[in-house]
């Protein structure tokens, strides 16, 4: 079987992966069990048209088992080995990015064909691990500051991701993964009114090794402050639709404040080149023979648009901005 990681996964030349940690074994470490329920975008109040325009029908799932107990232990050990990479930002309190460059276990978990097929069984369409390593195996850790949210209210700038609970929820209080079961516009209106909102759902993970899958760009979510305990770790793994025709929601500005630029700009260029390459391959295979020059040129422009946008984004000298909904002029987002 062709490995999912081919051909685009690459470890930056100056990173040396950690040696001697756990070795990923899908038979031992995975325990893939379907969620009880999959909420659709229509369940979140999106119109049929809006739902049809999105890459997936799925909004969010109830918690499902992803890792076995042995898998949880191996992942914990792997994350422990990465503690030196912890960082803070205005939105996320304590996090690690680029874990799959350093940890062979996390890399194999994130690129696992078994997990990929399992995700596909929930979305009913093919997905690929996000081609940027920086968007894979993102780790959120317990904030060091008391009362600080793990991650503030936001929508993701990736299309699809799972949030995997690594810590036994009995070991801490608070720190809930929460989402608004409504559209983004409705959630923002609720925040402006600043009232207790019946749309907010608190997810109860039964134990470590459980995850939820969400179309994170369509679901307003956060992880609340931890009120008791010192460990509360999640791993977030991102995917893109396996398609040449989807709206890419990623933003370089989002990454500029949280990722090392010597890795980020090359990763961004490779990602956008990957998207364009797939579109050019599609064009080579499917472009109809015709006399319509405008149509032919439009198709070519469309195919290289990702690369052209990437050049503009990478050239832009601004410092970047990691958007979250508490910080912005919320009314501007409606
Ligand atoms: Fe998120």
Q: How far is the CA of 55 from the centre of ligand 1 (A)?
A: 17
Span 180-233, pLDDT tens digits: 999 998 898 888 877 677 789 999 999 999 999 999 999 999 999 999 999 999
The model's pLDDT over 128-172, given as tens digits with 9 standing for 90+, comes to 999 999 999 999 998 888 888 888 899 999 999 999 999 999 999
- Give me ligand 1 centre to Cα 137, in Å: 13
Distance 174 CA to ligand 1 centre (A): 17
pLDDT of residue 328: 55
Rounded to the nearest angstrom, the distance between the alpha carbon of 195 and the centre of ligand 1 is 22
Q: Dump pLDDT digits (tens) for 105-123.
A: 999 999 999 999 999 999 9
pLDDT at 4 over 90: no
* Rounded-to-integer distance, Cα 323 and Cα 155, Å: 9
SS3 content of the chain, % helix, strand, coil (to 5): 35, 20, 45
Burial of 133 (0-12, 13-18, 19+ CB in 10 A): buried
The rounded Å distance from CA 165 to ligand 1 centre is 14
CA of 325 to the centre of ligand 1 (A): 12
> How much distance in Å is there from the Cα of 213 to the middle of ligand 1?
11
Q: Which pLDDT score is estimated for 329?
A: 47
CA distances from 134 to 3, 105, 158, 214, 252 (A): 19, 16, 12, 19, 12
Query: Ligand 1 mean position to 243 CA, how many Å?
Result: 22
Question: Pick the residue with more confidence: 66 or 7?
Answer: 66
Structural domains in the chain, CATH included, are 26-244 (2.60.120.620)
Residue of 156, 314, 323, 158 whose CA lies nearest to 240: 158
54 Cα–ligand 1 center, Å: 17
278 CA to centre of ligand 1 in angstroms: 27
The CB density around residue 241, as the number of other CB atoms within 10 Å, is 19
Please give the distance, rounded to the nearest whole angstrom, from the Cα atom of residue 164 to the centre of ligand 1: 12
How far is ligand 1, taken at its centre, from the CA of residue 216, in Å? Answer: 6
CA of 296 to the centre of ligand 1 (A): 38
Task: Report the separation in Å between the CA atom of 222 and the middle of ligand 1, taken as the mean of its atom positions.
Answer: 7
Mean pLDDT throughout 245-258? Answer: 89
Structural contact between residues 74 and 66, judged by C-beta atoms closer than 8 angstroms? no
Of the candidates 160, 156, 209, 153, the residue with the CA atom closest to the CA atom of residue 176: 153
Residues 6+ apart with CB under 8 A from 197: 180, 187, 190
| pLDDT in the model for residue 301 | 97
Span 310-331, average pLDDT: 77
Q: Are 207 and 61 in contact (CB under 8 A)?
A: no
62 vs 212: CA distance, rounded Å: 6
pLDDT at 6: 56
Is the pLDDT higher at 6 or at 276?
276
pTM for this predicted structure? 0.93
Look over the chain and give the mean of its residue pLDDT values, rounded to a whole number. Answer: 91
Ligand 1 centroid from CA 298, angstroms? 34
d(CA 70, CA 142): 22
Answer yes or no: is pLDDT of 330 > 60. no
* Distance from the alpha carbon of residue 283 to the mean position of ligand 1, in angstroms: 33
237 CA to centre of ligand 1 in angstroms: 10
Q: Where are the alpha helices (DSSP H) in the chain?
A: 26-29, 48-53, 69-80, 99-102, 104-110, 113-123, 184-193, 252-256, 261-286, 293-315, 330-333
36-59 per-position pLDDT tens digit = 999 999 999 999 999 999 999 999
C-alpha of residue 324 to centroid of ligand 1, in Å: 10
| pLDDT of 7 | 59
- Please check whether residue 225 is in contact with residue 140, taking contact to mean a CB–CB distance below 8 angstroms: no
Distance 1 CA to ligand 1 centre (A): 32
Which pLDDT score, from 0 to 100, does residue 89 have?
79
Q: How far is the CA of 284 from the centre of ligand 1 (A)?
A: 36
Residue 190 has a pLDDT of 84
Degrees, nearest 5: CA angle 303-279-136: 110
How close is the Cα of 161 to the center of ligand 1, in Å? 8
pLDDT at residue 91, rounded to an integer:
78
């Amino acid at each position: 079987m062709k490995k999912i990681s081919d051909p685009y996964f690459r470890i930056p030349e100056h990173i040396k992966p950690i040696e001697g940690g756990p070795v990923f074994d899908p038979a031992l470490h995975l325990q893939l069990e379907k969620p009880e329920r999959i909420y659709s975008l229509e369940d979140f109040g999106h119109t049929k048209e809006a739902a049809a325009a999105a890459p997936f029908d799925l909004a969010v799932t109830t918690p499902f088992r992803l890792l076995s107990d042995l898998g949880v232990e191996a992942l914990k050990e792997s994350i422990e080995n990465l503690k030196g990479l912890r960082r803070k930002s205005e939105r996320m309190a304590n996090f690690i990015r680029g874990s799959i460059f350093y940890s062979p276990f996390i890399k194999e978990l994130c690129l696992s064909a078994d997990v990929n097929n399992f995700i596909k069984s929930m979305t009913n369409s093919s997905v690929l691990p996000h081609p940027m390593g920086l968007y894979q195996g993102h780790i959120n850790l317990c904030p060091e500051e008391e009362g600080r949210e793990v991650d503030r209210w936001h929508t993701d700038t990736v299309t699809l991701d799972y949030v995997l609970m690594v810590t036994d929820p009995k070991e801490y209080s608070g720190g809930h993964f929460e989402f608004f079961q409504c559209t983004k516009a409705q959630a923002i209106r609720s925040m402006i009114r600043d009232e207790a909102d019946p749309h907010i759902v608190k997810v109860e993970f039964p134990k470590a090794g459980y995850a939820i899958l969400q179309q994170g760009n369509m679901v307003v979510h956060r992880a609340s402050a931890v009120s008791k305990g010192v460990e509360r770790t999640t791993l977030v793994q991102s995917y893109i639709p396996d398609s040449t025709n989807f709206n890419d929601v990623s933003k370089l500005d989002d990454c500029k404040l949280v990722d090392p630029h010597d890795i980020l700009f090359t990763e961004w260029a490779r990602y956008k080149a990957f998207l364009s390459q797939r579109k050019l391959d599609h064009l080579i295979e499917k472009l109809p023979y015709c006399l319509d020059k405008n149509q032919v040129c439009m198709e070519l422009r469309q195919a290289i648009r990702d690369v052209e946008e990437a050049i503009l984004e990478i050239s832009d000298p601004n410092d970047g901005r990691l958007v979250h909904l508490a910080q912005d002029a919320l009314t501007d987002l409606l």
